[in-house]
Chains A and B, each alone.
Chain A
């Protein structure tokens, strides 16, 4: 005799734990009186059990490295960026060496024999080469930043922006005034940082683009 197909559906719903309570009762009552369906039900539960049992299916040894070896070559830029990210201290060291050997180093003169250079945003400042000194005279206004390299600076007038003295000292006369910040740069390390903050180097991007 052929049984109603719904019992087969109930059995599958049972093993999938999706059977409704009423369907469950119906199925259990039917298999009590039908040996064919009882047998099927047992078989199906066995199949389900066997399909669940697969603890030993694992990727073979060396799988990951074989995959990686087949990948197209990585772009150098992303390799570098990752290296920088994972080695911050070494990066700083490499960066330092890089900058030491590059143009920045040559820009850095540590003795006073280098000529004084001034960037004063067009203001009339006095350059005293003999004493290695730049003077912002009283009454003179620098309408922006003042940068002096390889010399001291004496400010009797007014600076509306920042004052930076590279490889020199800064003296503020009593009448002088600096609206912005002032800093003196004496060491090459400070110089490097100054250049970095200046945004003149692409090196900065390596840190920020990640």
Chain B
């Protein structure tokens, strides 16, 4: 897998767009996941995830092949997302959440599209809820939590993506998760 990625990256550096297409196929779900989790809006997530790939292509010369390509790519995606969060007006998300009828959240969209049985819809509602609660966390906790639960990433990789020490990664995961626990509990009562 890594050898394939290395070969593809080398071709992209020579200007091969077909090779880049393969890289997009390999990483699109993960990149979209990171952005969606942190933004909570499917349209915006698609926008930013696409922009992350376009930037990666344009700046491929800057990628140092001694490192993992995914680390570099996820860093671009995370930074773009954090920029977007900071530029947003604070009340934007309240509107998005209240206007649930628009079907802007991923899980409610799937639930409607697939006509799921009751218990599955309940699971989806819980997932929708945790997704919304993530959006109440400060961006630095959102990114740590998101990367932690994006499979196969070690704390070391997360620290390289976010460019912070491993100990800081751990603290942010713990604090972010603690905040989520409290918010979910309040909603239950």
User: CA–CA, A50 to B174, complex, Å?
Assistant: 15
Q: Is the CB of B21 within 8 A of A64?
A: yes
| Interface SS of chain A | helix
Q: Is the CB of A50 within 8 A of B50?
A: no
How far is the CB of B168 from the nearest CB of chain A, in Å? 15
List B67-124 residues whose CB lies under 8 Å from chain A: 106-107, 110, 123
Contact residue among B20, B110, B174 (Cβ-Cβ distance under 8 Å from A71): B20
Size of A's binding interface in residues, CB under 8 A: 35
Known: A60-B42, A64-B28, A67-B24. A43 touches B57 (CB 8 A): no
Contact residue among B15, B28, B37, B145 (Cβ-Cβ distance under 8 Å from A78): B15
List of A residues within 8 angstroms of B6 by Cβ:
none
Q: Is the CB of A57 within 8 A of B54?
A: no
Known: A50-B130, A64-B21, A64-B28. A57 touches B37 (CB 8 A): yes
Q: Which residue of B lies closest to A64 (CB)?
A: B24
Q: Which residue of A lies closest to B124 (CB)?
A: A56
List of B residues within 8 angstroms of A8 by Cβ:
178
In the complex, A16 has a CB within 8 A of chain B: yes
Known: A59-B49, A66-B50, A82-B18. A71 touches B29 (CB 8 A): no
How far is the CB of A61 from the nearest CB of chain B, in Å? 10
User: CA–CA, A64 to B184, complex, Å?
Assistant: 36
In the complex, A54 has a CB within 8 A of chain B: yes
Q: Is the CB of B17 within 8 A of A68?
A: yes
User: CA–CA, A15 to B148, complex, Å?
Assistant: 12
User: CA–CA, A58 to B150, complex, Å?
Assistant: 12
List A16-43 residues whose CB lies under 8 Å from chain B: 16, 40, 43
How far is the CB of B22 from the nearest CB of chain A, in Å? 9
Q: Which residue of A lies closest to B47 (CB)?
A: A66
Beyond A46-B184, A59-B28, 13 extra complex contacts between A and B, CB < 8 Å: A12-B173, A12-B174, A43-B184, A47-B130, A54-B149, A56-B107, A56-B110, A57-B36, A58-B33, A59-B32, A59-B46, A72-B57, A82-B18
* A→B interface (CB under 8 Å): 8-9, 12, 15-16, 40, 43-44, 46-48, 50-54, 56-60, 63-64, 66-68, 70-72, 74-75, 77-78, 81-82
* B→A interface (CB under 8 Å): 14-18, 20-21, 24-25, 28-29, 31-33, 36-37, 42, 46, 49-50, 53-54, 57-58, 106-107, 110, 123, 126-127, 130, 145, 148-149, 173-174, 177-178, 180-181, 184-185
